[in-house]
Amino acid sequence: MLKDKLKNYNLILASSSPRRQAFFKELDLDFEIRLKPIKEEYPERLRHFEISDYLAQLKSLPFKEELLANDILITSDTIVWHNNKALGKPKDEADAFHILKALSNSTHEVITSVCFTTKNSQKTVNAVTKVTFKALSDEEINFYINKNKPFDKAGAYGIQEWIGQMGVTKIEGSYFNVMGLPIHLVYKMLNDMSQS
């Protein structure tokens, strides 16, 4: 359905995330993957969705000069917001343990920003989902880290994996947002762009 509406556009997904790539396939969209390295750093004054918005926009910068008239570049970033602090991807096993211990028996927010860049415009949307974990034992945390090695995930976990299945007791908002892409927003934005 959306594929037909977008047939005059070239969608470029700038993400190495296998989950985000799978979502685009499931939306039945034709797209190409283009990757450029970028240092994911942001000003310390930024808070909450300002951080993920900034990083999603930052990821579009290396592509700016090469976009053609019918290109739509999609970049995104996910952070976990807990106790007024952004949690990114863990550096190592100890860091992953520390992050999951902090998330245990509490509620955090997962924020994903998605930036849509064309030759002449840029628009960024974001979604916030609240996730509550039960009290996780040290044994459970270590088992998960050893089993799933969640070093490529903000907040050191994937909700679709073992720890999410047994540890998440409540979720408010988009489940897919926690997996790394608020698909409902992506669909709406692309639908709107196809009509403009």
The answer to whether residue 196 scores a pLDDT higher than 90 is no
**pTM beyond 0.75:** yes
Q: What is the DSSP letter of 108?
A: E
Name the catalytic one among 4, 28, 30, 77.
Answer: 77
pLDDT at res. 1: 83
Q: CA–CA separation, 162 vs 183, rounded Å? A: 22
Domain positions in the chain are: 2-195
Average model confidence (pLDDT) across the chain: 95
pLDDT at res. 88: 84
pLDDT at res. 195: 86
pLDDT band at 26 (very low <50, low <70, confident <90, very high): very high
Q: In this prediction, what percent of the chain has a pLDDT beyond 90? A: 92
Both tokens of 110, joined, read 């997962």
Note whether 112 and 174 are within 8 A (CB). no
**Which tens digit of pLDDT belongs to each residue from 9-20?**
999 999 998 889
Average pLDDT over residues 188-194: 94
Q: For residue 126, which of 11, 46, 22, 32 has the smallest C-alpha distance? A: 46
Average pLDDT over residues 188-196: 91
The alpha-carbon radius of gyration of the chain (Å, integer) is 17
Q: CA–CA separation, 58 vs 41, rounded Å? A: 9
| Catalytic residue flag (residue 77) | yes
Chain centre to alpha carbon of residue 55? 11
Residue 75 C-beta-side C-alpha neighbours within 13 Å: 26
- For the chain, the first-to-last Cα distance in angstroms comes to 17
**Which tens digit of pLDDT belongs to each residue from 102-161?**
999 999 999 999 999 999 999 999 999 999 999 999 999 999 999 999 999 999 999 999
The answer to whether residue 164 scores a pLDDT higher than 90 is yes
The single residue listed with the structure tokens 């860049």 is 117
pLDDT at res. 170: 98
Q: Poorest-confidence range of 43-47, 137-141, 151-155, 170-174?
A: 151-155
As a CATH number, domain 2-195 is 3.90.950.10
* Phi and psi angles of residue 73, each rounded to the nearest 5 degrees, phi first: -95, 130
